[in-house]
Structure 1
Amino acid sequence: MKLLTEVLAEELLELLPTQEDIAFYEEHGWYISKKVIPDEIIDEAILASEKFYQGERDAELPITIGYSNWKKEDGYDIIRNNEFVSLQSNKLRTLALQPIIGAIAARLARTNRIRLLDDQLVYKPPQDQTGKSAVGWHADRAYWATCSSHKLLTAWIPFHDCDETRGPLVVLDKSHKWSGTQDTRFFNNYNLEEMEKTFQQGGRQVVKIPMSLKKGQVSFHHCWTIHGSLPNYSKSFRLALAVHLQDADNHYQPFWNKEGKEIHIIDESLCRKLPNGNPDFSDPAAFPVLWSE
Structure 2
Amino acid sequence: MRPQALSTMQWEPLEQSLSAQQRALLPTDQDIAFYRQHGWFVTPPVISDDIIEQAIAGAERYYQGERDAVLPVNEGFSDWQPRDGLDLVRNNEFVSLQSQALRQLALQPVVGAIAAKLAGTQQIRLLDDQLVYKPPQDHTAQTSVGWHADRAYWANCTSDQLLTAWIPFHDCDIDMGPLVVIDGSHQWSGLEHLRGFHRTDLTQLSAQLQQMGIDHSIKEIPLALRKGQVSFHNCWTIHGSYPNRSQRTRLAIAVHLQDAANHYRPYQNDQGQAIHMFDEQLCRTLPNGDPDFSDPSVFPKLWSEP
Which category of TM-score, normalised to the shorter sequence, fits these structures? over 0.9
Q: CA deviation at 1:199?
A: 3.0
1:95 maps onto 2:105 in alignment = yes
Alignment: residue pair count = 290
- The residue aligned with 2:166 is 156
Question: Residue 202 and residue 282 in structure 1: after superposition, are their counterparts in 2 closer, same or farther (change >3 A)?
Answer: closer
Q: Distance in 2 between matches of 1:89 and 1:221?
A: 25
CA contact (8 A) 1:199 1:206 kept: no
- The residue aligned with 1:220 is 232
Q: Please list, as runs of the form range in 1=range in 2, the aligned pairs for 1:67-78 lying within 5 A after superposition.
A: 67-78=77-88
Q: Distance in 2 between matches of 1:132 and 1:62?
A: 32
1:26 maps onto 2:52 in alignment = no
Q: Distance in 1 between matches of 2:57 and 2:101?
A: 9
Alignment TM-score, normalising by the size of structure 1: 0.97
1:231 maps onto 2:229 in alignment = no
Q: Distance in 1 between matches of 2:206 and 2:32?
A: 27
- The residue aligned with 2:292 is 280
Structure 2: gaps spanning 5 or more residues: 1-12
Q: Distance in 2 between matches of 1:149 and 1:204?
A: 24
1:121 maps onto 2:142 in alignment = no
One of 259, 267, 278 as aligned partner of 1:247: 259
Q: CA deviation at 1:194?
A: 1.3
CA contact (8 A) 1:251 1:281 kept: yes
Q: CA deviation at 1:196?
A: 3.3
Q: Distance in 1 between matches of 2:81 and 2:200?
A: 21
| Paired AA for residue 170 in structure 1 | V
CA contact (8 A) 1:114 1:290 kept: yes
- The residue aligned with 2:9 is none
Identity %: 60
SS at match of 1:165: helix
SS at match of 1:137: strand
- The residue aligned with 2:145 is 135
Alignment TM-score, normalising by the size of structure 2: 0.93
SS at match of 2:191: coil
Task: Provide, for residues 63-100 of structure 1, a one-character-per-residue CA deviation record: whole Å limited to 9, x for no partner.
Answer: 11110000010010000000000000000000000000
Task: Provide, for residues 194-245 of structure 1, a one-character-per-residue CA deviation record: whole Å limited to 9, x for no partner.
Answer: 1233336754110000010000000000000000000000000000000000
CA contact (8 A) 2:190 2:214 kept: no
| Paired AA for residue 41 in structure 1 | I
Q: Distance in 2 between matches of 1:227 and 1:82?
A: 19
CA contact (8 A) 1:161 1:214 kept: yes
| Paired AA for residue 249 in structure 1 | A
Q: Distance in 1 between matches of 2:267 and 2:169?
A: 36
Q: Distance in 2 between matches of 1:11 and 1:210?
A: 28
SS at match of 1:105: helix
- The residue aligned with 1:182 is 192
Q: Distance in 2 between matches of 1:197 and 1:207?
A: 15
1:206 maps onto 2:218 in alignment = yes
Q: CA deviation at 1:173?
A: 0.3
Runs of 4+ in 1 over 4 A off after TM superposition: none
Task: Provide, for residues 143-200 of structure 1, a one-character-per-residue CA deviation record: whole Å limited to 9, x for no partner.
Answer: 0010010000000000000011001000000000111110000000000101233336
SS at match of 2:60: helix
Q: CA deviation at 1:13?
A: 1.6
Task: Provide, for residues 27-74 of structure 1, a one-character-per-residue CA deviation record: whole Å limited to 9, x for no partner.
Answer: 000000010000010011011101100100000001111100000100
Q: Please list, as runs of the form range in 1=range in 2, the aligned pairs for 1:263-274 lying within 5 A after superposition.
A: 263-274=275-286
Q: Distance in 2 between matches of 1:270 and 1:224?
A: 25
CA contact (8 A) 2:151 2:192 kept: yes
SS at match of 1:21: helix
Q: Distance in 2 between matches of 1:198 and 1:118?
A: 26
Q: Distance in 2 between matches of 1:198 and 1:285?
A: 38
